[in-house]
Amino acid sequence: MVAPAVSPESPAPSDKPDERPPRWDLPVRMLAVAAAGVLLYLSGPPRTLWWLAPIAFAVLGWVIRDRRARAGFGYATLFGLGYMVPLLAWTGEFVGLVAWLPLAAVEAALIGLAGAAIAVVGVLRAWPLLAALLWVAGEMLRSVFPFGGFPWGNVAFTQPEGAFLPLAAVAGSPLIAFAVTLTGFGLTALAGRLRARERSARQLLTPALAVVLPIAAAVGALPLVGTDANAGEATVAVVQGNVPRAGLDFNAQRRAVLDNHVARTEQLAEDVDAGREPRPDLVIWPENSSDIDPYRNPDAWAGIERAAEAVDAPIAVGSVLIGDDDLPRNTVLLWDPERGPVNQYTKRQLQPFGETMPWRSLFRLFTSAVDKAGRFVPGDEATIFDMGGAKVGLATCYEVAFDDVVRDSAKGSTMLAVPTNNATFGYTEMTYQQLAMDRVRAVEHGRTVAVAATSGVSAFVLPDGSVTQKTGLFTDAALVERVPLRSTTTLSDRLGSSPAWVLTILGLGAFAAGVLVRRRRRVSP
């Protein structure tokens, strides 16, 4: 699978004192790799500095190339801390450091494992390619562990504005991650060749191709990004009713939140009747727009019914339903203006440190704030809502980070809806990070994505990933747009999870080859 040959540019090991690295080498590498992690963070939304991501991986490659595995682990963990600590600051907004820093540390340690493997394959030919494969394998691991997976920091989600985005239509977020990291590690190899005293054009060719080919592939994938309305069009409204205040205590505000969404929908109906807005075929409300169970509370039922009748269109209502076990379910109800609730979807992938609290009894030893997190019960299947001529696939809030969850939701759909409640996380970057995921998913599945948030950011994302309308934070609004409906299955959907598994298996094969080669040589620390 991988030729276990030593790269000709690999330095020969030596135990001579005068050939050992200078004292400043270690602190410089530590500072550089931590800064590279920060660069990766800065490459993502709300910033549009996507090109920083390959540079971050170029620095990572320079630091860990030809190191021992344990050094690769340590350096890559520092890289992960530089990335994850600022990226995940929103997780501690209302439950404190006990959620934020341990989660960032665990994610960084998992990145460290990938770094250890990448250091091992540094002795092989085509190591930039093999390192990129191993990065994808690391993302696969983080998608399933810990807490049922936490893929929030996947590299693809830094790229909604970038040149690599069209690759999502080919093989989803794993291919974007592969392309970004290959470009970065290719830059490392190219710089190394250019510094060499003796070099030829042929020696420069391979690393140059590693830099150029991923971008060329992304340009070549542009024709696969479909935008035509091959299943018709629909006029869609997303309603952002806003919340009285931010925080995990939004449940204490639940009647006010419901009233806000009813009132904003009634205002939309008035605007439609006055000719200020087109009449929507369907309306999307956010997650938690009705935290009062309408089956148990007649006043909640009456309010939603009044809104649906006023706008004269089906509404997808984010609601919390209480089961027979007295535990809550995060549910979206399909509310028909004439028949009431006719279908429902229950969120399958619950958010740790919000809807659930991993290791609750352990973390309670450090803070009682853990009990602010919920005890929600997950659903078990995807659901398509037939709404106003559109077949709407649903991915609620945190679910949009998970490849398989969104892929299942997209099957049989002509558009996607993402009801979300980001009020829990205040004015942090969480909502912008999530919108980036929505944009990647739009291209990956070739679908319009309607994002409805209680407090922002709500948006319309077209199948090419472009945002046509969006709201601000903590304001009430209603967006109405005529959007394309599409039934085409993208290449990414046809391939499913197989590209990620192929890349991972190839990476593991490269790691095994690197281990064999390492047994035959000694590597500088």
Q: Which one, of 170, 210, 249, lies nearest residue 494 by Cα?
A: 170
- Measure the CA–CA gap between 452 and 459, rounded to whole angstroms: 7
DSSP secondary structure letter of residue 450: E
User: CA angle, 202 as apex, 199 and 206 as ends, to 5°?
Assistant: 105
Is 93 among the catalytic positions?
no
Residue at 220: amino acid letter? G
Distances, alpha carbon 143 to alpha carbons 5, 438, 516, in Å = 32, 17, 28
Q: Is 347 helix (H, G, I), strand (E, B) or coil?
A: coil
Q: Which secondary structure element, helix H or strand E, spans residue 501, and what is its range?
A: helix 498-518
Catalytic-labelled residue, pool 161, 287, 429, 444: 287
Taking residue 300's Cβ as centre, other Cβ atoms within 10 Å add up to 22
Is 347 among the catalytic positions?
yes
**Count of alpha carbons within 13 angstroms of residue 103, beta-carbon side:** 28
User: CA angle, 420 as apex, 416 and 327 as ends, to 5°?
Assistant: 110
Catalytic-labelled residue, pool 93, 305, 347, 399: 347
523 is written with which tokens? Answer: 């590597």
Q: Is 133 helix (H, G, I), strand (E, B) or coil?
A: helix
Taking residue 99's Cβ as centre, other Cβ atoms within 10 Å add up to 25
- Measure the CA–CA gap between 148 and 347, rounded to whole angstroms: 14
Q: Which one, of 141, 129, 167, 161, lies nearest residue 53 by Cα?
A: 161
User: CA angle, 88 as apex, 84 and 94 as ends, to 5°?
Assistant: 150
- Measure the CA–CA gap between 316 and 388, rounded to whole angstroms: 11
- Measure the CA–CA gap between 446 and 228, rounded to whole angstroms: 9
Its sign, for the CA torsion 310, 311, 316, 319, is negative
221-233 core/surface letters (b: 16 or more CB in 10 A; e: else): beebbbbebebee
Is 399 among the catalytic positions?
no
With 0-12 CB in 10 A as exposed, 13-18 as middle and 19+ as buried, what is 48? exposed
Say if strands 459-461 and 467-470 run parallel, antiparallel, or are unpaired: antiparallel
Phi and psi angles of residue 228, each rounded to the nearest 5 degrees, phi first? -70, 150
Q: Is 162 helix (H, G, I), strand (E, B) or coil?
A: coil
Catalytic-labelled residue, pool 397, 444, 470, 481: 397
Paired strand residues for 459: 451, 470
- Measure the CA–CA gap between 408 and 397, rounded to whole angstroms: 15
461 is written with which tokens? Answer: 């994302």
- Measure the CA–CA gap between 454 and 246, rounded to whole angstroms: 10
Alpha helices in 394-461 (DSSP H): 403-410, 430-445
Active site residues: 287, 347, 397
